[in-house]
Structure formats: structure tokens, C-alpha cells
Amino acid sequence: MHIQTVFDVLRQPEYTGDNRCIPCTINNLAIAAVVCIWLWVMWWPGAMAFGSLALLSIVFRGYLVPGTPTLTKRYLPDRVLSVFDTVGTDPMTTEETVAANTERLLVESGPLKPCEEFDDLCLTSQFRESWYGRMDRITTSETERQALAETLDTDGEIAFVDHGEAFTAHINGQSIGQWESHAAFVADLAAARELPQWIDQWDRLDVAEQGTLIRGLRVFIDLCPSCDGPVTPVSETVESCCREHTVLAISCDGCDARLFESVADSIERDPETV
């Protein structure tokens, strides 16, 4: 019990675990290695002792040299930090070219059209009616398991787990997908059943391309699939490693279900805040 207490005192959760800054760790390991080599030449017992203490410091505190997080944020270019930072990223949705191609295909196929009152894209009335109709049937008369089994053409055992901040689906114990919420899952499942009726080449698209089209439609939802209330776009700042991200999200007003979430950009944090 005493050892556990000591470790808890030493550990800095803001710089370790999921919050560990990989560039900071690499810099400190390099510094520790150089010092150990120099000490080994001078006095090897000192090198062994220093190496052990340095490793413990990096493991439990996140860094060896005081101020490393501040120095890393101040002097390392953002493009370098982004290589080590994967929080909130989705390779199928962050590329501008992928987003443009998704919108183009949805416009050409009929689900989307240019809005009449402002410069953006909107759901066509016919697709909106069909899509929302499927959402309603999935949540009322048709079981979600049945709808998912028919969509994936599987007779495996389907199970759902609602984690609060995430909703997952499993077939025979294996996870097949994760959504921001149950509402997001219903929207995607309904879209997966409706889009093949609109996109002629649907069966020729790979799974990643189909997923991008399905997920992209959630941006245009204006009525929550779970609570039938309005939805609101919001932006929030999420800390990750040595940077901050602006996250754009769409949530249901009535039940706070998160329908969509995407990283908009990266913001360099003020070094004086650490």
C-alpha cells in the first residue's frame, strides 16, 4: 500500500498515460541517453543510478527536464507535433478532397442539393422523407438488430453496448463499429439502408467509401433521431498532447446525444499555461 501511495504522488496524470506527449518523451530519453553515456565514461555506477532515476521520472512524471512540455510547444513546429498526435483524427473524413468527393457524389445522386436560402448544401425533400422514415421504422416497428443483420447480410449474434459517450455494435463478440451515440448509430443504419436506392455504383464502392458517405450525411441532420428535437452545431476546444484542437460537433438539444464530431483545426497553446 505504501509503494502504491508513493507512485501516486510521483505520477503526473496530465503528462502521462493517454495525455503523454510523445515528442517530450523522445526529447527526454535522448537527453538521458547522452548524460548516461558521458557518466559511463567517467564513473559507470553513477551512469546506472542516473539512468534508473531518469527512466522513473519519465515514466511517472512524463519528462526528466523541468519545463519540457513548455519548451516542446514553443519550439517544435506544429507539423512535427501533429505526427505524434492522433486524438480525434479520422483518415477517412479529415482530407478535404475526400469531403469534396463525398459531397459531389451525394449531389449527383440526389440526396443533397444547393440550399435555396444560403450558400451551402441541404437534403432534398424526397431523400429527407425517405431517410427519416427509415430512422423512424428502425426505432419503432423494426428492431435494430434485425435492421443491422439485414444490412450486413449476417446471421451472427448481434449485441449493442451504450457507453454513454460512445455506442458500439458487436457480432459474435467482435466489435464492428463505434458511433458517437445511439442516435448517430440509428442515422447511419438508416442511411446504409437508403443510399443503395440512390447511388447506382454503391455495390462497387469499398467499405471505407461507403462509410464516408454514410457518416457525411449526419452533418445535414436537423431533427434528432432519438428525441425528435432540434439539433445544434457547437465548437469546443480539446487538449491533446502539446496542442489544442477545435472540435466541431452536432448535438441534440433535448437529449444531448452527439450526432457528429470532427476536428476542425489545431491551435498552438500558450506556453505559459503549463
Query: Looking at residue 264, what is its pLDDT?
Result: 65
- Which positions ≥6 away from 7 have C-beta within 8 Å? 60
CB atoms within 10 A of CB 165: 8
What is the model's pLDDT at position 67?
A: 52
Residue type, 117: E
Among 53, 83, 65, which residue's Cα sits nearest to residue 24? 65
Q: How far apart are CA 38 and CA 60, in angstroms?
A: 24
pLDDT at 110: 94
Alpha-carbon distance of 107 to 197, in angstroms, equals: 14
Cell numbers representing residue 192 in the block: 446504409
The residue among 261, 266, 268 whose CA lies nearest residue 93 is 261
The residue to which cell 491551435 is assigned? 267
End-to-end CA gap in the chain: 31
Instruction: Report long-range pairs for 91-96 (Cβ below 8 Å, ≥24 apart).
Output: 92/208, 92/211, 92/212, 92/215, 93/212, 93/215, 93/216, 93/262, 94/262, 94/263
What is the distance, to the nearest Å, from the Cα of residue 144 to the centroid of all Cα atoms in its chain?
Answer: 24
Q: In whole angstroms, give the CA distance from residue 127 to residue 258.
A: 22
Locus of grid cell 452533418: 219
| Contact assessment for residue 228 and residue 250, using Cβ atoms and an 8 Å cutoff | no
Each residue's pLDDT tens digit in the chain (274 positions)?
334 444 444 455 555 665 666 777 777 788 889 989 999 988 998 889 988 888 888 777 666 666 555 544 444 444 444 444 444 444 444 445 666 788 899 999 999 999 988 888 999 999 999 999 999 998 886 688 888 988 888 889 999 998 877 899 999 988 888 899 999 999 999 999 999 999 999 999 888 889 999 998 999 999 999 888 899 988 777 665 555 667 788 999 988 889 988 876 543 333 333 3
CA distance 47 to 68: 22
Q: Does pTM surpass 0.85?
A: no
Strand order in the sheet with 174-179: 158-162, 167-171, 174-179
In this prediction, residue 183 carries a pLDDT of 92
Evaluate the CA torsion angle 41, 43, 44, 46 in order and state its sign.
negative
Report pLDDT for 15.
57
* The predicted structure's pLDDT at residue 249: 87
